[in-house]
């Protein structure tokens, strides 16, 4: 069994896989991660290996503590990957994006695939049918757009995400919802359409915290999978174990 540790800025996602099958997952606060990892070790004593993917601040002492229980792989730009990385600055490529591309290579082999991760930021990552990762794009996510309108203006309120009633907002709140949500939907659909002009056989994956909120409103045909990143991390661990 494999333990997946995906470290964000405030929270940590923990997942247990048996082969390719997800057996358990949870999201915990960063400060509580080590306690929960120890609890998982007791619950699933068959866990032998773990992969740590961190875009947040996981202490070196925590990594050392985890290594006492498991054989640890820390994902970085030097990790062996199942695709050819053509990114000009591979050392700056986020480990979350690496994991998403690996998941695409595993689940959609030999297909032109665009992975859209709708989280704090919206990331777009493209891998060709020849297994070559070309790069993509990064733009502000849903909450970031709501917060920026509030933080960078004097009078606009901070609102919770809400599907707008119409493209025409007839109040300040409705105008914000229309601008933020419709703006993101038009952006995503537009990016997909642009890729399809060059790659007509494009496969599109939507994942991330806001995937469920956005997926039913997009006009483009997509595969929505909230566990796509975790599955990618598990595949990287399997790939390196089998090398």
Q: Hey, which residues are catalytic here?
A: 96
182 a known binding residue?
no
95 is annotated as contributing to ligand binding: yes
10 annotated to a ligand binding site: yes
Identify any residues that bridge with 140 across adjacent strands, giving them in sequence order. 121
- Using alpha carbons only, what angle is made at residue 44 by residues 43 and 46, rounded to the nearest 5 degrees? 150
Backbone φ and ψ for 180, nearest 5 degrees, come out as: -70, -55
Q: Find out whether 146 is annotated in a ligand binding site.
A: no
36 assigned binding-site residue: no
Which residue in this structure is represented by tokens 């006009």?
219
70 a known binding residue? no
Q: Which of 165, 154, 97 is nearest to 125 (CA)?
A: 97
Specify the DSSP class assigned to residue 108: S
Give the strand pairing for 71-74 and 11-18. unpaired
**Is position 44 annotated in a ligand binding site?**
no
Q: Is 96 annotated as a binding residue?
A: yes
HSE-CB for 8 with a 13 A CA cutoff: 15
- 166 assigned ligand-binding residue: no
Residues whose CB falls within 8 Å of the CB of residue 200, separated by 6 or more in sequence, listed in order: none
Does 117 belong to an annotated binding site?
yes
State residue 69 phi and psi, 5-degree precision. Answer: -100, -35
How many residues would you count in the chain? 243
173 is in an annotated binding site: no
Run of H or E including 205: strand 203-207
Binding residues for K(+): 117
Binding residues for ATP: 6-13, 120
Binding residues for substrate: 87, 94-97, 172
Binding residues: 6-13, 87, 94-97, 117, 120, 172
């Amino acid at each position: 069994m494999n333990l997946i540790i995906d470290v964000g800025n405030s929270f940590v996602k923990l997942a247990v896989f048996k082969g390719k099958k997800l057996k358990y997952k949870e999201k915990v606060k960063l400060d509580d991660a080590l306690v929960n990892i120890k609890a998982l070790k007791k619950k699933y004593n068959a866990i032998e290996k773990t992969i740590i993917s961190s875009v947040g601040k996981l202490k070196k002492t925590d990594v050392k503590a985890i290594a006492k229980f498991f054989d640890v792989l820390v994902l970085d730009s030097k990790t062996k990957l199942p695709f050819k990385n053509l990114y000009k600055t591979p050392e700056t490529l986020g480990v979350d994006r690496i994991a998403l591309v690996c998941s695409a290579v595993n689940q959609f082999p030999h297909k032109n695939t665009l992975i859209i991760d709708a989280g704090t930021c919206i990331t777009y990552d493209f891998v060709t049918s020849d297994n070559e990762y070309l790069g993509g794009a990064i733009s502000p996510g849903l909450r970031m757009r709501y917060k920026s309108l509030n933080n960078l203006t004097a009078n606009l309120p901070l609102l919770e995400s809400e599907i707008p009633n119409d493209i025409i907002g007839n109040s300040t709140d409705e105008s914000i919802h229309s601008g933020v949500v419709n703006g993101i939907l038009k952006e995503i659909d537009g990016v997909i359409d642009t890729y399809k002009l060059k790659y007509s056989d494009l496969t599109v994956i939507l994942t991330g915290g806001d995937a469920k909120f956005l997926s039913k409103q997009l006009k483009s045909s997509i595969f929505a999978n909230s566990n796509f990143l975790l599955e990618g991390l598990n595949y990287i661990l399997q790939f390196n174990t089998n090398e």
